[in-house]
Structure 1
Amino acid sequence: MNYKVAITSGKGGTGKTTVAVNLFSAIHKNWTKKVQLADCDVEEPNDLLFFKNATLVSNDTVNQPVPKIDESKCTFCRKCEEYCEFNAITIIPSVNYAAVDPNLCHSCGACLHACEYGAIEDQPHAIGQIAHYQTEAKAAIAEGSLRIGSPMQTRVIKDLKACVNEDSDIVIFDAPPGTSCPVVETVSDVDYVILVTEPTPFGLYDLRLTVDLMREMNKPFGLVINKAGLGDSAVYQYLKEEKIDLLAEIPFNKEYAVQYAKGNLLSDIPPVIEKEYNKLADYLKNRIKND
């Protein structure tokens, strides 16, 4: 059984991907080679941008079952249309028209239950892809990508999580930002969650929402403060009041931000920053031993 860690943040731009990529690299370099990074931010995956010359190992299509209506069997009674909670079915009896919009369908199966004439059956509909890569250092990365226009992030994330390497010692899930369904799906069965925030009023506001979600889901979690040294001290007061573990502080460094913008996140890491990621990796290592 591998140990699953999700890294998420209440808002975009806090440095979630920075933490995920660097932690993955630190674990692979100093702890175990059997670590995998899975990019679950399927609407905009970008973890792979920071690994030069990664080799594509496999690429699989993610399909969603979408109903198709056989007009030769359909009586155009509109019962399936009434059952559909997502307005994905259009029935026009006057012109014998029946169709399902795959972009609105959530594959709930209500229409299949509603139809009494056997006029509806599921067919596969592509909504995204899952790609597996290997870095130059022989590290494994999996990436989910959603088809543009599809609302089914959670299905792609679920399939991505299902295909991680079972022999990995630890899997790092880079979750989407926010507190919506894709985040819930990503962290639903992980062993530990690392929250990333910045010491600003906006960062604290969204952190509160994320903390409420983690507690509602009964997930153990700790916090990493990125861009430490900017903003104010309100987030530190909040951690103290809520008794939340501060796992690491990544200091703001202009040159490091420049490296990020160039896609060189893993090159020339300042020692003070590298020390924090190694400390975070050691924390997880000790936590696994004690769990």
Structure 2
Amino acid sequence: MKLAIASGKGGTGKTTLSVALAQVADRPVQLLDCDVEEPNSHLFFEQAATDCEIVTVPVPRIDEQRCQHCGACGEFCAFNALACLPTETVLFEGLCHSCGGCRLVCPHDAISEQQQRIGVIRKARHGKIDLFSGVLDVGLAMSPPLIRALKRHQNDETLILLDCPPGTSCPLSTTIQDADMVLLITEPTPFGLHDLEIAVETVRQLKRPIAVIINRSDLGDNSVTNYCRRERIPVLLQLPYEKRVAVAYSRGEGLLDALPGLETQLEIVLQHAEKLYRESLS
């Protein structure tokens, strides 16, 4: 099963729960940290990465000797990465999605492609957990290609946990588009409910089954539980605020270090998530 752990906003406890779920699983686990702009799952493990893979994407290069500035490439590009001026064709690399279409439509064979580094994938093994962390290079904004490269390491014979990027934009969609189940982490506040509603809409557009975990469940109101009831979204777990978790987190320790008695409840969460996925297939 591919279980994506996501949230409509940052700071809800998504990574903390992703690591804890990996730790309680009763089988080999792949934990993929897809928050490539700020990966932090590795902070909960003592062993450093043992392998590092450089990720590149093809970027167009324009031969000014051949370019006739006809505008075909700029007209084709849906992302406005090419500006065709009377005497120059300008490439905005930050907007390029590396689709290769400009090279194909150029009638003068003036566009080639060059590989450009966008980040790395760090790999480490922690007992039964294989951790893969994508790290986007500083200054780059296009994270989906790195997320896709990271997901190519998925082994369908194991339990796969996807620690998603926060928010509901392209990085999240890229991460969850082939997930079997999406577990949304939220908190019972107006901001939490607002971002949960947007996240639910996004996940439903991709036709993925949804369940919810409410973190710090005793600090807000009942708006999130009422919303989930109206939308028929199962709430698999409610975690009250616990100062020991915050203290442990500040020391680089995980959820189960602070609350070892939570292990059974998290095991049940995994069981329910898999059951909901099976039911969605019927």
TM-score for both structures, normalised by structure 2:
0.91
**Aligned match of 2:44 in 45, 50, 59?**
50
1:235 alignment partner in structure 2:
224
Contact 1:102–1:125 (Cα < 8 Å) also in 2:
no
**Aligned match of 1:157 in 147, 154, 157?**
147
Q: Note the C-alpha offset of 1:71.
A: 2.0
Which amino acid is 1:20 matched to?
Answer: S
**What is the alpha-carbon distance in structure 2 between the residues aligned to residue 121 and residue 177 of structure 1?**
35
1:127 aligns with 2:125: no
Q: State how 1:83-232 maps to structure 2 within 5 Å.
A: 83-90=76-83, 93-94=86-87, 97-135=88-126, 137-168=127-158, 170-232=159-221
**What is the alpha-carbon distance in structure 2 between the residues aligned to residue 256 and residue 48 of structure 1?**
17
Q: Note the C-alpha offset of 1:114.
A: 3.4
3-state SS, counterpart of residue 155 of structure 2? coil
Q: Aligned pair in 2 of structure 1 residues 231, 91: CA closer, same or farther (>3 Å)?
A: same
Q: Note the C-alpha offset of 1:19.
A: 1.1
1:68 aligns with 2:58: no
**What is the alpha-carbon distance in structure 1 between the residues aligned to residue 68 and residue 257 of structure 2?**
68
**What is the alpha-carbon distance in structure 2 between the residues aligned to residue 269 and residue 227 of structure 1?**
15
2:265 alignment partner in structure 1:
276
Which amino acid is 1:125 matched to?
Answer: Q
**What is the alpha-carbon distance in structure 2 between the residues aligned to residue 181 and residue 89 of structure 1?**
21
**What is the alpha-carbon distance in structure 2 between the residues aligned to residue 238 and residue 99 of structure 1?**
49
1:19 alignment partner in structure 2:
17
1:245 alignment partner in structure 2:
234
* CA deviation map 1:36-62 (0-9, x unaligned): 100011111100011112441x22121
Q: Note the C-alpha offset of 1:232.
A: 1.0
**What is the alpha-carbon distance in structure 2 between the residues aligned to residue 35 and residue 218 of structure 1?**
24
* CA deviation map 1:195-221 (0-9, x unaligned): 100111110111111111222222111
3-state SS, counterpart of residue 60 of structure 1? strand
**Alpha-carbon RMSD:** 2.1
Moved more, 97-106 or 6-15: 97-106
**What is the alpha-carbon distance in structure 2 between the residues aligned to residue 246 and residue 75 of structure 1?**
60
Contact 1:37–1:174 (Cα < 8 Å) also in 2:
yes
Which amino acid is 1:228 matched to?
Answer: S
Q: Aligned pair in 2 of structure 1 residues 273, 200: CA closer, same or farther (>3 Å)?
A: farther
Q: Aligned pair in 2 of structure 1 residues 147, 167: CA closer, same or farther (>3 Å)?
A: same
3-state SS, counterpart of residue 268 of structure 1? helix
Moved more, 185-194 or 75-84: 75-84
Percent of paired sites with the same residue: 41
TM-score for both structures, normalised by structure 1:
0.88
Which amino acid is 2:32 matched to?
Answer: A
* CA deviation map 1:214-255 (0-9, x unaligned): 222221111101112111111111122222111111221011
* CA deviation map 1:53-79 (0-9, x unaligned): 2441x2212111111111222233344
Q: Aligned pair in 2 of structure 1 residues 55, 117: CA closer, same or farther (>3 Å)?
A: closer
Which amino acid is 1:240 matched to?
Answer: R
1:37 aligns with 2:10: no
Contact 2:3–2:179 (Cα < 8 Å) also in 1:
yes
**What is the alpha-carbon distance in structure 2 between the residues aligned to residue 105 and residue 288 of structure 1?**
36
Q: Note the C-alpha offset of 1:146.
A: 1.3
3-state SS, counterpart of residue 44 of structure 1? coil
Which amino acid is 1:36 matched to?
Answer: Q
Contact 2:119–2:137 (Cα < 8 Å) also in 1:
yes
Q: Note the C-alpha offset of 1:191.
A: 0.7
Contact 1:134–1:141 (Cα < 8 Å) also in 2:
yes
